[in-house]
Amino acid sequence: MKTFRTIVSTPASKWQFGLKNPVFTAGSCFADAIGSRLYSNKFEAMVNPFGIIYNPLSIHRAILYGLSNTLPGEDTFLENDGIHLSYDFHSEVAAYDKKELMSTITSMVSSAHGFLKNTSRLLITYGTAWVYERTDTHEIVANCHKVPAAFFKKRLLSEQEIVASFKMLFDTLKAVIPDAKLIITVSPVRHVKDTLPLNSVSKAVLRTACYAITTQFTDVEYFPAFEIMMDDLRDYRFYKSDMLHPTQEAEDYIWDQFIESYIDEDTRKFIKEWKSISAAMSHRPFHPTSASHQKFLNDTLKRLELLKDKADVSEEIRIIKEQITTP
């Protein structure tokens, strides 16, 4: 029988990992999507701690802050409409005075540093190769924070710039964590504010840069999230109403491809069991004290007890025990 679609191949990684491997994600909103799923499936995950960042150079810079436990320079800070911000981070990293902002960033960087020292897997997702360069310092910003366009020059990163920036990150990372493994992706979300033709240019630069990175550096693999969305799920039923972001169904499909490639077999079994238990725990009974529901709670508790050695399910066990009324 003919297959009326193109299926993107996602072979098993050379270095699959499991629940005992901490995972750090950074970059575009796709890093949020995968990171959040890892976290909800009981992985020790730090998900986009610097907020959403789209361009590779700013993503690398933010991770370097975490690796070296250093803060942004004084010239990266600004005040706009009474809000204090940093050009190196997302606009959610903000405060009403500079001292408070510095405290927030110090805590954020310190937490990332503590996590990164003990991590073994990093997932980096690039969103766009279009960047905004400050006209005063010529530094590329992670976010313009609604500062007038006259203060910036918009330009396209080159493949060489991205690879050179990645090398700085990679060398520092390997000095801190010699056995670190990196997964890089290109976000499947299109940036239409650049126009669709220029979005295509941007994604092409990102994709060739990822290819160069995976051929020049060891312990780096590319996960084809972009290709899965564009070539396998190329139908608007897989897009939300904005016609740009993947639907829940599309995210589920990409997630399934990701775990098949990168998650070891034992952990995949856990994820399957955990999905079933999570669905059971979300059930809201009409009669909580009925014999049938109490049996259901006791059965669920037994299932959770069997997972204690694999993941921290103490909170879930507590919740179930509080609902059990029969001996």
Q: What tens digit of pLDDT does each residue of 89-133 get?
A: 999 999 999 999 999 999 999 999 999 999 989 999 999 999 999
Cβ burial 273-304 (10 Å sphere, 16+ → b, else e): ebeebeeeeeeeeeeeeeeebbebbeebbebb
- What is the pLDDT at residue 286? 84
Residue owning tokens 């059965």? 299
* Whole-number average pLDDT of the chain: 93
248/201 Cα distance (integer angstroms): 27
* Tokens coding 69: 């436990």
Tell me the average pLDDT across 56-70.
97
* Tokens coding 184: 């890089």
Q: How confident is the model at residue 245 (pLDDT cuts 50, 70, 90)?
A: confident
Question: Which candidate, 250, 271, 245, places its Cα nearest to that of 259?
Answer: 271
Phi, psi of 30 (to 5 degrees): -65, -30
* Residue 2 pLDDT greater than 70, yes or no: no
**Cα Rg for the chain, rounded, in angstroms?**
22
Phi, psi of 170 (to 5 degrees): -60, -45
DSSP secondary structure code for residue 157 in this structure: P
Tell me the average pLDDT across 167-186.
96
- What is the pLDDT at residue 209? 98
| Sign of the C-alpha dihedral computed for residues 217, 167, 200 and 190 taken in this order | positive
Q: Are 89 and 53 in contact (CB under 8 A)?
A: yes
Q: Are 140 and 58 in contact (CB under 8 A)?
A: yes
Report helix, strand or coil for 214: helix
31/47 Cα distance (integer angstroms): 7
Q: How confident is the model at residue 1 (pLDDT cuts 50, 70, 90)?
A: low
Nearest-10 crossing angle of helices 196-216, 159-176: 40
- What is the pLDDT at residue 92? 93
Q: How confident is the model at residue 64 (pLDDT cuts 50, 70, 90)?
A: very high
| Sign of the C-alpha dihedral computed for residues 174, 178, 180 and 182 taken in this order | positive
The model's pTM: 0.93
Q: What is the pLDDT of residues 132-165, one digit of tens each?
A: 999 999 999 999 999 999 999 999 999 999 999 9
For the chain, give every domain's residue range: 23-263, 265-327
Phi, psi of 18 (to 5 degrees): -140, -160
172/180 Cα distance (integer angstroms): 11
Tell me the average pLDDT across 198-213.
97
- What is the pLDDT at residue 326? 65
- What is the pLDDT at residue 193? 85
- What is the pLDDT at residue 236? 86
Tell me the average pLDDT across 313-326.
89
Q: What is the pLDDT of residues 68-97, one digit of tens each?
A: 999 999 999 999 999 999 999 999 999 999
Helix (H) or strand (E) holding 115: helix 98-116
Report helix, strand or coil for 125: strand
The domain 23-263: what is its CATH number? 3.40.50.1110
Bridge partner list, 185? 125
Pairing of strands 130-134, 152-156: antiparallel
Q: What is the pLDDT of residues 286-303, one digit of tens each?
A: 888 898 888 999 999 999
- What is the pLDDT at residue 287? 85
Distances in whole angstroms, Cα of residue 30 to Cα of each of 125, 189, 291: 7, 8, 44
DSSP letter string over 43-99?
Answer: --EEE-TT----SHHHHHHHHHHHHHT-PPPGGGEEEETTEEEETTS-TTS-BSSHH
